[in-house]
Amino acid sequence: MGLEKRSRRGCKQCRAGHHKCDEITPACRRCQNRGFVCDYGSISIRWCNVRTAQSVGQQTGSSRVSPVAPVEQHDSPSSSTYLSAGRETIQFHGYSYTDAHPSSLSPQSPAVSPVLQRTPLFEQPEEVTLYTYYVNRVAGELQARDGFHNPYRKLSVFSLSFPVLLRSILSCAAEHTRSLGLCPAQLAVDLHDQAIREIRLELAGWSPRTPVVHSSLPISIGMTADEALLAAVLLQPGAIAFSGSSPLSVHTHLEIGFHMLTDLGYLKNPKIVNSFIPKFLLQRFAIVDLGICVWHRRRPRIAPDIWLIEPIDVSKIMVENAFEDIQPSFYEMVGCPYTVYTFLNRAMHLASDVSCISSPQSQRNIYQKAISLETEIRTYDLTLHDFRDNGGLPDAPMAAICRAFTHAALILLFRRVFLEPSSSPRVQNSIETIFALIDKIPVTPKYASAGAEDVHSGIDSATGLPFYLAAREALTVETQGMIRKKHEAWRKVYPNPARIQLMNVTERLWLERFKDPDLSEEACQEIETSCDAYLF
C-alpha cells in the first residue's frame, strides 16, 4: 500500500527532490508554499541553445553548432558572464551562480528549462548574454541576501513567457553592464526604448477587471499577465538607477505602479502576503518608493493608515510574521526587517508633516507622535540586541545591516522631525553606531583573475541607504576619511553612478559646514535636494 500512495505523476520539482506531491493543479501545495514554478510536464521541456532568427533558418541538422556560444560549466570560482566592449563581439564565456542551491537554476533543471517557440525570445545574440548576466549578477545585487529564494532571479524564469517583463530585465542588465564600461551605450538605449515601448503597449489596454490571460507555456504558471506588467514597471527604477539618469521618469513608474497596486487590491487585502508574486511586487514597490522619498525629501506613497504600515483589521504580529516567514522574506530582500521599514515610512511621513505645520497644536501633535516613534525604535533596537544574543540572528553582517537601518530611522527623526543640528549628541551617537556596524560588514571581493564584471554581489550591497544617509552628518576628519575609504572600496565592486552622485553631495555638505559651522538647515536641504540620485 505504501508504494501505491507514493507520487508517480507528481510535478517535476517534487520528483527531482524526492518529495511526495499532492498533484493539485495548476500548482501543488509544496510549490505554492515555496514560490516554485510547478510543472507536471504536460509539454516536453528541454533546454535549447538560443539562436538568432537567421541561424534558425540556416540550421538543417542537429549536428549544426549554434552561432551563440553554448553555456559551459566551470569549477573555477572566476566563472561569470563577460561582455566585451564591442557590440558585435559580446559573448558568454562562463556560467556561475552564488545560490545556495545552484542545481535548481542550472540549464538542466526542469524549474527553469523553457521551451523556445518558433518565434525567438531574443532578437539578437547580445540579449542572450545580457539575460544570463542578469541571472548571474544583477538579480543578486538587487537582493540584499542572495540565495535560493531570490525573487529577482525567479522573475527571469517568468519573463520567458511575458515579453514585457523580459524587455525590462534586459534593460536592467544592459544599464548595469554599461556602468561597467562593458556594453555599448547605443545597445543600452535601444533596449531601454524597447522596454518602455512594451510597457506602454500593455498599459494602453490594461484593466484590472479584464480576465487574466496566462501564457501557453507551463512555465508561466504562478504569474499572471497583470503581475508581469507590474513587475516590468517596478524593475525600471533599477535600470534608471544603474544608468544614473534623471529620476523624473522614476516617479512616473512609481505612480503607475501605485495605481496598479491600488486597482489590483493589494493595498486593501493583507492576505496577499501569502502569495509569492503579489508579496514580492508589494515589497518591491515599498522599497523603491521609500528609498526615493528619503533622498528627495518626499512623502511616501504608502500612507501610514494602510494595513502595510499599521494593521487594523488583522493582528500586527501576524502581519510581521508573514512578511518575514513567508517567501520572499522582506528581511532578505531589503536588509532590514519589515518592522524597521514601518519605522522609516512613519518617520518620513512625520518629516513631511513638519514641513507644512499650520498651527502650534499641529506641531505638538507631530512631536508627540515622533516621541512615541522614537520610543518604539529604541525598544526594538534593544530587543534586537537580545534576539541576536539568543541566536535569533546568527549572521553577524546581516544583523549589523538591520541595526544600521534602525539607527537610520532615528537619524531621520532627529534631523527632519525634531530638526536637531548635525552636531546634536543624539545624531552623532547614531552616526557612530552606524559606522561601527558597517565596519563589521565585509566588502565583497573581486576575483583577481578577472575584470570588474566578475563579482558576485554580497550583502554589503544593501548598506547604501544607511551609509550615505549617515555620511552626510559626519563632522570629524577621521570619520570622513573612513567614509571615503569605504565608498571607494564599494565603488570598485558596485559601479552604480548613484553612489558617486550621493558621495558628491556628501562632500559638498562637508565643505560648506567647514566654511560655516552654523550652516542653516535650509542650506543643507537645498544641497541635498539638488541631487537627483537615489539608492535603495
Overall average pLDDT of the 24-42 stretch = 73
Question: How far is 217 from 162, CA to CA, in rounded Å?
Answer: 10
Q: Which residue has the higher pLDDT, 158 or 30?
A: 158
Computed on alpha carbons and rounded to an integer, the radius of gyration of the chain in Å comes to 24
Joined grid coordinates for residue 25? 493543479
Give the CB-side neighbour count of residue 261, counting CA atoms within 13 A.
30
510 pLDDT band (50/70/90 cuts)? very high
Tell me, what's the pLDDT at 187? 92
Tens of pLDDT, residue by residue over 64-83, are 333 333 333 333 333 333 33
Q: Is the pLDDT of residue 332 over 50?
A: yes
Q: Tell me what pLDDT residue 311 has.
A: 61
Average pLDDT over residues 141-156: 88
Structure confidence at residue 236 as a pLDDT band (50, 70, 90): very high
Q: Average of pLDDT values for 46-51?
A: 39
Confidence of residue 247 (pLDDT cuts 50, 70, 90): low
Confidence of residue 340 (pLDDT cuts 50, 70, 90): very high
For every residue of 367-381, DSSP letters joined together read HHHHHHHHHHHHHHH
Per the listing, cell 538579480 goes with 139
Binned at pLDDT 50, 70 and 90, residue 473 comes out as very high
The x, y and z cell numbers of residue 46, run together, are: 528541454
* Across 14-34, average pLDDT: 77
Has residue 226 got a pLDDT over 70?
A: yes
Comparing C-alpha atoms, which of 139, 183, 177 is closest to residue 158?
Answer: 139
Pick the range with the lowest mean pLDDT from 175-189, 312-326, 477-491.
Answer: 312-326
State the amino acid at position 79 in one-letter form. S
Structure confidence at residue 493 as a pLDDT band (50, 70, 90): confident
Q: Pick from 453, 533, 465: which is nearest to 140 by CA?
A: 453
| pLDDT value, residue 312 | 54
Checking if the pLDDT of 492 tops 80, the result is: yes
Q: How confident is the model at residue 342 (pLDDT cuts 50, 70, 90)?
A: very high
Comparing 108-122, 198-212, 336-350, 508-522, the range with the smallest average pLDDT is 108-122
DSSP result, 190-249: HHHHHHHHHHHHHHHT--TTSPP---SSGGGTT--HHHHHHHHHHHHHHHHHHHT--THH
The mean pLDDT value of the chain amounts to 77
- Output the CA angle 412-418-419, nearest 5 degrees: 85
| Element counts in the chain: helices (H) and strands (E) | 22, 0
Question: Is residue 55's pLDDT more than 60?
Answer: no
What's residue 111's pLDDT?
37
> pLDDT by residue (tens digit) across 254-311?
999 999 999 988 988 888 888 889 999 999 999 999 999 999 899 999 998 888 887 6
As a whole number, mean pLDDT of residues 112-120 equals 43
Q: Are 160 and 105 in contact (CB under 8 A)?
A: no
532 pLDDT tier (thresholds 50, 70, 90): confident
Count CB neighbours of 498 within 10 A: 24
With contact defined as beta carbons under 8 Å apart, do 347 and 408 qualify? no
Residue 502 pLDDT greater than 60, yes or no: yes
CA 436 vs CA 401, 429, 430, 476, 508: distances in Å: 11, 11, 10, 15, 24
Share of the chain residues as helix, strand and coil, in percent rounded to the nearest 5: 60, 0, 40
Mean pLDDT on 181-207: 90
Tell me 86's DSSP state: S
Percentage of the chain modeled with pLDDT above 70: 74
How many CB atoms within 10 Å of residue 38? 24
Q: Which one, of 192, 151, 154, lies nearest residue 175 by Cα?
A: 192
- Encode pLDDT of 385-439 as tens digits: 655 554 444 568 888 899 999 999 999 999 999 999 999 999 999 999 999 999 8
Instruction: Name the more confident of 446 and 23.
Output: 23
Q: Is pLDDT at 334 greater than 50 in this prediction?
A: yes
Overall average pLDDT of the 136-141 stretch: 89
